[in-house]
Structure 1
């Protein structure tokens, strides 16, 4: 099976569900803590290019609700990179890298890929 890198938080329920499902399906999964271990300066630009801000930014998060109107408008104008690097919990989790592709969230569409 594929070797995957899952960027998320150890205490995130969605990340735990994704890890368990991927492990059960025989994937070799490495968890990278998005706050403590991830090189966001390198990863965020790549993820934004692959997914776009509409997919990568978690607009249902507490972090999003606490942003100023100006900060939210930056995301709407396609200037999300610095905001995501400064606020890793604003990134929709998990972000899964397969080596060739990048996925964000643990939706039915993402689950169907694996």
Structure 2
């Protein structure tokens, strides 16, 4: 089973969902804002992808954070920041049997799924 993690209103998540549906892929959608995000799930993502990859430094939420929260990040500080502000996680995150993907392009989904 495929699980797609993200935020419902995110344009990239919408594109990933449309691709999955258009290609007949069954999936479960987990909205960080509705379904939540716990440390165990975040650490599972981080173990595969690394916190630097998970952290979206290009988004609006990141730019709106106090500079003090953005400085001197290490793994623990970054994970706490993502728990406090799930919208700073790069989206979508897709999990399927043995694979974890981050971001979306039609080409990456076609080759990996």
TM-score (structure 1 length as normaliser): 0.85
Deviation for aligned residue 1:109: 6.2
The question of whether the paired residues in 2 share the 8 Å contact of 1:7 and 1:38 is answered with no
Structure 1 residue runs of 5 or longer lacking an equivalent are none
1:62-89 deviation line (CA, Å, top 9, x unaligned): 11112223322243x2231111000000
Distance 2:21 2:43 in 1: 28
Two-structure CA RMSD over aligned residues (Å): 1.8
How many correspondences in the alignment?
111
TM-score, normalization by structure 2: 0.85
Q: Which has the higher contact order (CA 8 A, sep 6+)?
A: 2
Alpha carbons 1:18, 1:106 under 8 Å: kept: yes
Structure 1 stretches of 4+ with a deviation exceeding 3 A read 107-110
Gaps of 5+ in 2: none
Matches within 5 A, 1:13-92: 13-75=11-73, 77-79=74-76, 80-92=78-90
Which has a greater percent of helix?
2
